[in-house]
Amino acid sequence: MSKEIAKTYEPSSHEDEIYKKWEESGFFNPDNLTGEPYSIMMPPPNVTGVLHLGHALENSLMDVMIRYQRMRGKKALLLPGTDHAAVATQAKVEKLLIEQGIKNPREELGREKLLEKIREYSEQSKATILTQIKKMGTSCDWSRLAYTFDEPRNKAVNEVFVRMYNDGLIYRGYRVVNWSVKGQSTCSDDELVHVERQAKLYTFKYGKDFPITIATTRPETKLGDTAVAVNPNDERYQEYIGKTYVVDVGAAKPLNIKIITDENVEMAFGTGALGVTPAHSAVDFEMYEKQKAKGEPIELIQVIGQDGKMTAAAGGNYVGLKVTEAREKFVEWLKGEDLLEKEEDITQSVGTSDRFGDVVESLPMTQWFVDVNKKIPGKGKSLRELIKEAVEIGHNNNPEQKININPERFEKVFFHWINNLRDWCISRQIWWGHRIPAWYKVNSKFEPEIYVGETPPSGEGWLQDEDTLDTWFSSGMWTFSTLNKSGDAEMFHPTSWMQMGYEILFLWMVRMILMSTYVRDEIPFKDVYIHGMLRDEKGEKFSKSKGNNIDPLEVIEKYGTDALRFSLLNSIAPGNDARFYFEKVEGARNLVNKLWNISRYISGNSNQNELDKEIDSKQFTASDIWILSKMKNLISEVTDDFEKFQFSQASEKLRIFTWDDLADWYLEAAKFEDNKETKGQLLTKINKDLLKLWHPFIPFVTEVIWHEMFNGELLLAGKWPKTDNYESLKEEKFELIKDVITSIRNARSENKVEPAKKIKAVIFAGSHMELIKSQSKLIINLRTGIEEIEILAKGDKPDNAIFITVGEIEIYLLGARDEAKEKIRLTKEIENLEKQIKIVEGKLNNQEFVERAPAAIIEKEKAKLAGWQIELEKLKNISE
């Protein structure tokens, strides 16, 4: 490092250049690396906009991991990509177009033109996202860049669809689905956001002569009721079960209401009877199916249409009305007929579309589904069982193929969830997405025909299904659909590690397990690391509507990428939410600068030519031995933390070593020690390994320093430090010296001694005579304000001195004592010691403690007590 190097590190003048160097080096591409494969698939960000701080956190997590693994000598792959995010993107672009004055984009533009608009938008968004990923310093292999909607991924989607169809796992069925009127599309159960709202619960009868009272919050759907369900064990209704009543509530035709039984009806709730509307409730539809299977069918009457308005079946008074209008009208009618018995306010949770925002309707429709309960041919297990097995005992009961969820508590949530899994509706009526590979035609005998295949069928008259696939169908294959380069899948799958936020655990993780275990007969990843959400400083979610969004690029511009990365990684605990503070980033920036200056100092105080010479351990001082043992320990702990995904703990240990141990103690001491040559070698060795340990967290600054100081190969491809490179030196001598120095500083401060005032110290070192003598230079120079020092084994205590005791060592500071303040200080110390001694004595006098506690603990307590007792005695002597 040359002398002109700036006093402060300026990220913006290095980062782009360094990233370019990394890219050009080829080390981002595992083809250029050797060793055991290690792979991470980047969860592809949606091309709905730009990246936010949450993405910055994810990029930091993935990159810290992949850099660590690369340095560990692995063939490391971090594969980047983006997600076309079907509904989300179309909804977004449609919204933009509406803002631009196009009232109904689908009608006005048509399929091809609208798709063109969406493609344009998504390409732009994609470009921005990729730039942002680079700005974060993410060391991913750009030669393998993937997109969920590009050709290789489309091929994979079609292949898997056809295979599942042929296995009978995908079926086309007429069922009640969630329908977003606003988006004119279905959505799956997992895409619903439940919102609490106020509603009215109406209790009524269909007619004067109807024997059972029912309750509902959706009176308008009652126009389509065809049954009343009661619990089979409910004695109140036994006599009515199986009977059918004809009622006229104003629908197009009088309703045939059959009294049926269902075990899920709770006797205690309301009247214990439930009006069954097969067309507009998933639960009721199930009853409809059950009745059909039993041979006692009930009718299905659809009274709400896809436009959210009442159908003709709802009757002349209702047809064409919005559901809310119809509701009022029906209630009016009930009142008029004196059928309404009760009207009460309740809070209700309703499902809304996560992308379009409207309350979804339940409508019966023909859609495509994935059957999660059907046995897979040749497997004897259902998809649900496959998913569960992979987390519970390992795929195919193979422990090597077990997915570990970290932190573990999310496994509980997973099992709870998997038991409630229902068939997955995968067809969407939007246009942006993978078109369903199914074709229809009517043959010469006027029978409908269907063809499902990877390529269009030959022959005339085939029309492809208009619908597209749920976006998770393609992103579920992400761990392997991305590995389409020859040999990649065998090399890198199952992937090694996957990080994700808990909010998409069930949306995404489960689908990846489903796809991978079914298609590849192996798990998608071995370890899942769940992180929490990043919130603003008030603890609120970042969102556009709140206007509290922060652009990572802004933060980077001001503080540098390293500072952003460190502040994010340092403040997260697995699975827990964290708040983002600019103060944190500022602190991180200061740390980066500290490391910069440490290196700057070291490079100025070591001779490059001596680096290869063997370090002469005979020249070691107490501080040398101390820092070397700290360093050895640091390497082992940081490595350990990485293996346990404890990133924030690793970074914290590095921070403490760097700032407290190295900068504040070791470098300060080094200034006053004589073994300059050895020191230079040691400093360089420690600096090198420290830069390596830091590199995954703060890649830019470490690479810049590395380049300035060592000029050799890139730190990116450096070898992770080994503890073996450090001798096992167990040494606590320097800790004692630190203690002596800190105590002197403290006593000066408490006595309010002027900083400039020089004082004399007399030390009775006892058995530490030799050590204290050898370290006297440090005791004098490290901000203790001592100019003269006298060291004896033992002696008569000097008068009028500040008295300090560090274990058996006695220190007297002459010429600085403030009678009153010293008295206060001594009293405080004595009180403190007495308190501690009392606690330990209490423990040791406790018969049960002595009998039952492990010997090591007891020994520790005894040693503690003995030390304190000596100190206390000395303090008492002096204060008399």
Partner RNA sequence: GGACGAUUAGCUCAGUUGGUUAGAGCGCUACAUUGACAUUGUAGAGGUCACAGGUUCGAAUCCUGUAUCGUCCACCA
Tokens of 361: 């309707």
Side-chain half-sphere CA neighbours of 275 within 13 A? 27
Comparing CB distances to RNA, the nearer of 252 and 282 is 282
Decide if 738 contacts 778 (C-beta within 8 A).
Answer: no
Residue type, 746: N
Decide if 501 contacts 533 (C-beta within 8 A).
Answer: yes
Q: How far is the CB of 229 from RNA (least distance, A)?
A: 8
Comparing CB distances to RNA, the nearer of 836 and 879 is 836
Distances (CA, A) of 677 to 711, 757, 771: 21, 34, 22
Residue where the block lists tokens 């269907």: 450
Q: How far is the CB of 738 from RNA (least distance, A)?
A: 9
Comparing CB distances to RNA, the nearer of 119 and 535 is 535
Q: At what angle do helices 552-559 and 105-135 cross, to 10 degrees?
A: 20
Comparing CB distances to RNA, the nearer of 135 and 584 is 584
Residue where the block lists tokens 């059907």: 374
Comparing CB distances to RNA, the nearer of 297 and 587 is 587
Comparing CB distances to RNA, the nearer of 21 and 676 is 676
3-state secondary structure (DSSP) of residue 515: helix
CA distance 879 to 514: 76
Comparing CB distances to RNA, the nearer of 251 and 376 is 251
Is 182 annotated in a binding site? The answer is no
Residue type, 222: K
Q: How far is the CB of 17 from RNA (least distance, A)?
A: 19
3-state secondary structure (DSSP) of residue 500: strand
Q: How far is the CB of 405 from RNA (least distance, A)?
A: 12
Q: How far is the CB of 587 from RNA (least distance, A)?
A: 4
Q: Are strands 255-261 and 244-247 parallel, antiparallel or unpaired?
A: antiparallel
Q: How far is the CB of 137 from RNA (least distance, A)?
A: 18
CA distance 833 to 827: 10
CA distance 592 to 14: 14
CA distance 261 to 276: 11
Q: How far is the CB of 572 from RNA (least distance, A)?
A: 7
Comparing CB distances to RNA, the nearer of 324 and 846 is 846
Comparing CB distances to RNA, the nearer of 161 and 330 is 330
Decide if 872 contacts 837 (C-beta within 8 A).
Answer: yes
Residues 6+ apart with CB under 8 A from 774: 621, 622
Comparing CB distances to RNA, the nearer of 100 and 268 is 268
Tokens of 19: 């990233």
CA distance 741 to 813: 12
Comparing CB distances to RNA, the nearer of 129 and 257 is 257
Decide if 865 contacts 837 (C-beta within 8 A).
Answer: yes
3-state secondary structure (DSSP) of residue 693: helix
Q: How far is the CB of 231 from RNA (least distance, A)?
A: 8
CA distance 483 to 144: 8
Instruction: Give the dihedral sign, CA 29/30/31/33.
Output: positive
Q: How far is the CB of 756 from RNA (least distance, A)?
A: 7
Residue where the block lists tokens 């004119």: 184
Report the candidate in 509, 483, 522 with the shortest Cα–Cα distance to residue 405. Answer: 509
Report the candidate in 306, 396, 452, 355 with the shortest Cα–Cα distance to residue 48. Answer: 355
CA distance 370 to 164: 8
H or E element at residue 151: helix 151-166
Residue type, 167: D
Q: How far is the CB of 61 from RNA (least distance, A)?
A: 15
Q: How far is the CB of 700 from RNA (least distance, A)?
A: 14
Longest pairwise C-alpha distance within the chain = 120
Binding site: which residues? 544
Binding site for ATP: which residues? 544
